[in-house]
Chains A and B, each alone.
Chain A
């Protein structure tokens, strides 16, 4: 590559930065896609953890799972995630154990009345307000949070759930555009988690994001094989090969030197081109 070297944000995943030619270009939104159980959340938490290690502020927006469960899950990996901040937008979980190590920033933010709510508003009425979670309300919550605290890393887990909570498709597209624009304007490096996109449908986040990291989990013969691909990375060279991915006690790691098995590649080929 010629030109000025662009600083990169390390993902914290051993091997992945090499695939990304040094890491992610900071201040931009990226998509992490994959089937369930492929390791999307684990990867995202490792990314946040890497930020914390570099004395950055990192925020996890939890839509799919209540924060307490995420904490339990990562504790089993032996990680100290005490410094990752979490915005609980899980529709059902309005309150959770206050002694959890994940710092709770906004569990009390009543989304339904957020437009009028000040940062410390915790009235009964608000607690009882029906939790109306949408892409719009998340953007408003994030705006409030980012005005108070300067974050450099953000994870939204997951956009797929948020989209399911939104009804009108036209609005949803515009809301996603707006949310990703907001992230870029806030100069936050963001990972947006989505399900594996349906190959026949064009999802706006897929073409709006500046890069897509895809996690694959396939049955090859009688074994489960995992691999990772970089589908897109604007403004940078990247690894074009699928690489084997391992999830172990120490989290996710990628071997950027190794090729995946021939059988695995064939399964991946069949998958990427003919099914979703």
Chain B
């Protein structure tokens, strides 16, 4: 392991590189997964900034959030995105015409974040672009010929799956996309949006590693954590670590995430559900962890107020 560390590239997230035993093995594709609002885009952007401050060429592929908004959001964090290149692959507003003009957009090109306009790109009435996974792949291939990028972020892979691929071709297209990325020999971080209780998908199998961002409620309110779910070819930190999102971005605390339980209640009210196991739901399970149903409250609540049954 010792000699591998030298070859690894740093993520730029304080603490995370230590969890990854020095960083990411270059030229491979990794995913950053998590529920909404866990900090996937912020982490991915930190990864790009780390590269660009060391003179690497880095590319951000925007698939769901328009680049003008990403730019504005990151300016709030005081980050300089000037030398990060961005490809706006966000889909247009659909026209729902009976005879749609379906042309693959060739006019869109990669630009620097500093040149991204403040306003959102407005869909052309004449020719709304129909972007598919092929468009994105073509763009990537061409760009890689022109500029040798060392870091690419795909934000998000979930949008690519939901909006750019026909359902019937979903898995095959995803696998081919991963294959392309590994042929291009670029270190890629792809963000994957998870539902609150997640089951594994093809992305998790294909990626060479998965960094998972988590958030859950405890006695202090919302708490953030980070785990390395998978990392091929390297040893890594198996623990759940606590993570902070501040105005400087994301940082990981290397001591184990605190397992501070909710203080016991001394109210004379109805019994409450069993204390929760931590960390939050284990994603590998297709079904949520069964929790013993709490005994019925003293006064039966009306149906609309009952705790809905766990779905699975």
Chain A residues with CB under 8 Å of chain B are 1-4, 6, 25, 27-28, 35-37, 115, 136, 139-140, 169-170, 173-175, 177-178, 181-182, 184-185, 187, 197-204, 206-208, 210, 212, 217-222, 224, 229, 231-237, 240-242, 259, 262-263, 265-276
**New A-B pairs, 11, CB < 8 Å, besides A177-B162, A200-B198, A273-B217:** A175-B94, A177-B159, A187-B119, A208-B64, A219-B297, A237-B247, A240-B221, A262-B263, A267-B272, A270-B294, A272-B217
Q: Does the CB pair B36–A198 fall under 8 Å?
A: no
Q: Does the CB pair B269–A200 fall under 8 Å?
A: no
Residues of A within 8 A of B297 (CB): 219, 221-222
B167 within 8 A of A: yes
Residues of A within 8 A of B73 (CB): 234-236
Q: Does the CB pair B75–A3 fall under 8 Å?
A: yes
Complex-state Cα separation, A144 to B294, whole angstroms: 51
Residue of chain B at shortest CB distance from A184:
B120
Complex-state Cα separation, A263 to B36, whole angstroms: 26
Q: Does the CB pair A207–B36 fall under 8 Å?
A: yes
Complex-state Cα separation, A145 to B115, whole angstroms: 32
Q: Does the CB pair A221–B298 fall under 8 Å?
A: yes
Chain B residues with CB under 8 Å of chain A are 36-37, 41, 64-66, 69, 72-78, 90-94, 96, 98, 119-123, 156, 158-159, 162-163, 166-167, 193-199, 216-222, 247, 262-263, 265, 267, 269-270, 272-273, 276, 280-281, 288-289, 291, 294, 297-299, 301, 304-312
Complex-state Cα separation, A269 to B306, whole angstroms: 15
Complex-state Cα separation, A167 to B103, whole angstroms: 26
In the assembled complex, how far is the CB of residue B286 from the closest CB belonging to chain A, in whole angstroms? 9
Residues of A within 8 A of B269 (CB): 220-222, 263
Complex-state Cα separation, A218 to B159, whole angstroms: 33
Closest 9 CB pairs of A and B: A221-B269, A232-B37, A235-B73, A199-B196, A241-B221, A240-B222, A2-B78, A270-B273, A178-B94
Classify the secondary structure of B's interface with A: loop
13 interchain pairs, CB-CB under 8 A: A2-B247, A115-B96, A139-B94, A169-B167, A181-B93, A185-B93, A199-B288, A207-B36, A234-B73, A235-B69, A235-B72, A272-B217, A274-B273
Complex-state Cα separation, A222 to B272, whole angstroms: 12
Q: Does the CB pair B272–A270 fall under 8 Å?
A: yes
Partner of A276 from B65, B92, B311 at Cβ < 8 Å: B311
In the assembled complex, how far is the CB of residue B242 from the closest CB belonging to chain A, in whole angstroms? 13
Residue of chain A at shortest CB distance from B269:
A221
Residue of chain B at shortest CB distance from A25:
B72
Partner of B91 from A2, A178, A210, A276 at Cβ < 8 Å: A178
Residue of chain A at shortest CB distance from B277:
A273
Q: A207-B64, A207-B156, A232-B37 are in contact. Are A202 and B194 (CB under 8 A)?
A: yes
Complex-state Cα separation, A199 to B77, whole angstroms: 30
Q: Does the CB pair A267–B94 fall under 8 Å?
A: no
In the assembled complex, how far is the CB of residue B89 from the closest CB belonging to chain A, in whole angstroms? 12
Q: Does the CB pair A36–B304 fall under 8 Å?
A: yes
Partner of A273 from B90, B267, B272, B280 at Cβ < 8 Å: B280
Residues of A within 8 A of B219 (CB): 262, 265
Complex-state Cα separation, A231 to B41, whole angstroms: 15
Q: Does the CB pair B96–A139 fall under 8 Å?
A: yes
Q: Does the CB pair A140–B163 fall under 8 Å?
A: no
Residues of A within 8 A of B222 (CB): 229, 240-241
Q: Does the CB pair A177–B196 fall under 8 Å?
A: no
Residues of B within 8 A of A240 (CB): 221-222
Partner of B195 from A198, A221, A268, A269 at Cβ < 8 Å: A198
Q: Does the CB pair B76–A1 fall under 8 Å?
A: yes
Complex-state Cα separation, A150 to B249, whole angstroms: 36
Q: Does the CB pair A275–B270 fall under 8 Å?
A: no
Q: Does the CB pair B158–A202 fall under 8 Å?
A: yes
Residue of chain B at shortest CB distance from A170:
B167
Residue of chain A at shortest CB distance from B93:
A182
Residues of A within 8 A of B41 (CB): 234
Complex-state Cα separation, A222 to B90, whole angstroms: 48
Residues of A within 8 A of B218 (CB): 269
Q: Does the CB pair A136–B96 fall under 8 Å?
A: yes
Residues of B within 8 A of A2 (CB): 76-78, 247
Q: Does the CB pair A139–B93 fall under 8 Å?
A: yes
Q: Does the CB pair B272–A263 fall under 8 Å?
A: yes
Q: Does the CB pair A185–B123 fall under 8 Å?
A: yes
Q: Does the CB pair A173–B311 fall under 8 Å?
A: no
In the assembled complex, how far is the CB of residue B278 from the closest CB belonging to chain A, in whole angstroms? 10
Q: A197-B195, A212-B37 are in contact. Are A3 and B77 (CB under 8 A)?
A: yes
Q: Does the CB pair B217–A268 fall under 8 Å?
A: yes
Q: A200-B311, A266-B265, A273-B216 are in contact. Are A207 and B272 (CB under 8 A)?
A: no
Residue of chain A at shortest CB distance from B73:
A235
In the assembled complex, how far is the CB of residue B159 from the closest CB belonging to chain A, in whole angstroms? 8
Q: A199-B196, A272-B217, A276-B308 are in contact. Are A185 and B267 (CB under 8 A)?
A: no
